Amino acid sequence: MNREETLVKNFQDVQAALLAACAKARRNPQEVTLLAVTKYAQDRDVLTLLKQGCITHVGESRVQQALARWTNPVFAQFHTVKHFIGHLQKNKAAKAARLFDFIDSVDSLDTALAVERAVPAGKTIRALVQVKLTEKDTQSGLPLEQARELARKLKDLSRVKICGYMGIAPLGAPQAELRNLFRLVKRAFDEDFPPGAERHLSLGMSEDFITAVEEGSSLPRIGSRLFARNLEGL
């Protein structure tokens, strides 16, 4: 297989795994949207999947790099829903507010207010509060109870529409521990964002998205499984 075929195969494999996870958990696959994390991907690879119509939601973790890519007409011609998934510094809030449709990694009231002030007229930005799922200090996000408190405060904003939680699970955690963590967040999500209004729960990455979708994730974020797998030498 050449590079393009391998990329499409990676996408099809992910898609099949998502469908299988939905079937196992008796979930409607329509409830699950693949968020393709393009932050480390080469431009040519992102374009391959865009042209094939494989990806619509894309995730970036650096504002400057994302601006350069997604305002380039070659990329801008494709309709994509753009998610910011990195740590947002307050001084980048205005740029982020112009480019992104979602900020999936809100972890402070200050930053959310900076985004709210900078959202262009007529635009609404969807936001998720990032929940910290490990004790490690290096990870961003807020412990679950603080995340829930922040989500409550953010419901008063008007241009930033808070609609769920995002979490990064500890790498290499045992299955049972992963499942428990995902369940805790899912339970809080169901209480704080009951069905009926727009809601998103973004759990799961390349290594753990199957478990995450089985446990209720609606927006798994997948990077290396799409853009790095089997591509060496192609």
Ligand X SMILES: *Cc1c(COP(=O)(O)O)cnc(C)c1O
List of residues contacting ligand X (CB under 6 A)? 37, 39, 61, 85, 168, 205-207, 221-225
Closest distance of CB 220 from ligand X, Å: 9
Nearer to ligand X, 33 or 159 (CB): 33
Q: What angle do CA 151, 154, 156 make, to 5 degrees?
A: 135
Nearer to ligand X, 85 or 160 (CB): 85
Between 175-192 and 144-154, two packed helices, what is the crossing angle to 10 degrees?
30
For residue 39, give the nearest of 76, 73, 68 by alpha carbon.
68
Closest distance of CB 205 from ligand X, Å: 4
Number of H helices, E strands in the chain: 10, 8
Task: Tally Cβ neighbours within 10 Å of residue 120.
Answer: 10
Closest distance of CB 59 from ligand X, Å: 7
Closest distance of CB 206 from ligand X, Å: 3
Residue with tokens 């002030």: 117
Nearer to ligand X, 151 or 168 (CB): 168
Rounded to 5 degrees, what are φ and ψ at 56?
-125, -35
Q: Using CB atoms, what's the residue nearest to ligand X?
A: 223
Nearer to ligand X, 31 or 207 (CB): 207
